[in-house]
Amino acid sequence: MHSTPPHPPPPHPQSFPHNSPKDPRGHPLLCVLLLSLLSLLLLLLSLSSPHSPPPPSSSSSDAAASAAAAAAGVAEIPSIAYLISGRSGDGDRILRLLLAAYHPGNLYLLHLDRAAPRAQRERLARAARAALRGGARNVHVVGEPDFANPRGASALAAALHGAAVLLRLSPRWGWFVNLDASDYPLVTQDDLLHVFSFLPKDLNFIQHSSYIGWRESRRIRPIIVDPGLYLSTRADVFYATQKRELPDAYKLFTGDSSVILSRKFIEYCILGTNNLPRTLLMYYSNMPSPHLNYFHTVLCNSPEFNRTVVNHNLHYVTWDMSSRKEPRLLTLDDVANLTRSGVAFATQFAKDDPALDRIDQEILGRGPGRVVPGGWCLGGGRGDPCSKWGSPNVLRPGRRAMDLANAIAQLLTPENLYSHQCIWD
């Protein structure tokens, strides 16, 4: 099973989140989404010409104004902040992922787990500068990294640290995307930025559910301690003998670790004065794998944000059929389904899997050791279309942009959006 836009059975008509209107037609975001949906449908008819919008306006943070401008055929090119994380020995994988997802208008933060020797981080920084030929001013490597044990809270702490650094590095970006070294893009950045330029900037793409099931006994009620939060050497988590009760002050949600979150929501989690993000952070700090739950629970328990959620993270994933609890590795046999999926990224690949070469050749048009060509590439010598750089404000989306726009348009239809959004089972 893969993660194309989901179509679960419709929920009970009274199952909308607390503190939210039960009739979505009265919600102001619906008007914005309808304009965005219209824009995306128009976009499907206009992908043959380069995207060169006018300079950004001071009201770019206003979602309604952005959507109205998009409906009129004018869209501001967004910027995306990427946190790309890996473990010791993942430097080459991170570099390949960086080149496959690179665009000069975006921002990139590369994080190698603290277990990796400092020499690996220095080598990664040098390799990124060399591959981008001195144009890597928007690429940064975390010099004082965190442990990021996916079984404990240190992985969530590393993600929040990365998001905070990205906020500090630039005021321009509109969405936060976290990628693991085993992930890979299925669209060019020109495709992704072109489609996202027609969307409200407050949308959050995150796979989520309030159905806990087996997770209650395995990942919610157990109490653990993650030594990665307080030791300078790696040590695995350990479990307490006690079990905790389920909370009644808020509803728990769970999902995937891969997310696409708005800048406004990231600021709410890190800089905001509302105490809910900190309360939930304290609650999840002693829970197994809290990075699979934290953002999902904060979003769906926040009246300010629970209507901005799209129940899909735009990632393709297939599950281990024996357990249905972990994604399985993708292979060359999956490429056909990847191409048809219409989503932006895929999770997860083995290092140097032949499927990556095929994606580079057939989908991204990327040569070995080079970035994916975009509208900012002015050609040059030695057969490298990006040996000379032009304006990052010129986008040349390809055929995959149409697939992505169609997938998102389906997700944003009112009957799909509101029936799959923060449902309280």
8 Å CB contact between 374 and 389: no
Work out the average pLDDT over 165-178.
Answer: 97
pLDDT digits (tens, 9 = 90+) for 30-39: 556 656 666 6
Q: pTM for the whole thing?
A: 0.85
pLDDT digits (tens, 9 = 90+) for 230-240: 887 778 888 88
On the question of pLDDT at 51 being above 80, the answer is no
Query: What is the pLDDT, as a whole number, of residue 181?
Result: 97
pLDDT digits (tens, 9 = 90+) for 256-286: 999 999 999 999 999 999 999 999 999 999 9
Rounded distance between C-alpha atoms, residue 353 and residue 182, angstroms: 10
Cis status of the peptide bond prior to 410, with omega within 30 of 0: no
On the question of pLDDT at 11 being above 70, the answer is no
Q: What is the mean pLDDT of the chain?
A: 84
Rounded distance between C-alpha atoms, residue 64 and residue 236, angstroms: 47
Q: How far is CA 109 from CA 13, 167, 170, in A?
A: 42, 11, 12
**Token pair 């040349």: residue:** 396
What is the sign of the dihedral through the CA atoms of 342, 343, 349 and 351? Answer: positive
Lowest pLDDT segment from 87-101, 247-261, 373-387: 373-387
pLDDT digits (tens, 9 = 90+) for 393-413: 999 999 899 999 999 999 999
Phi-psi label, residue 402: left if phi above 0, alpha if psi -120 to 50, beta otherwise? alpha
On the question of pLDDT at 111 being above 50, the answer is yes
Rounded distance between C-alpha atoms, residue 367 and residue 361, angstroms: 7
Query: What is the pLDDT, as a whole number, of residue 359?
Result: 96
Structure-block tokens of residue 85: 């994380």
- Looking at the chain, the whole-number percentage of residues with pLDDT higher than 90 is 61
Q: How far is CA 257 from CA 152, 183, 290, in A?
A: 13, 12, 9
Q: What is the largest CA-CA distance in the chain?
A: 65
Query: What is the pLDDT, as a whole number, of residue 201?
Result: 93
On the question of pLDDT at 60 being above 60, the answer is no
pLDDT digits (tens, 9 = 90+) for 288-346: 999 999 999 999 999 999 999 999 999 999 877 665 667 889 999 999 999 899 999 99
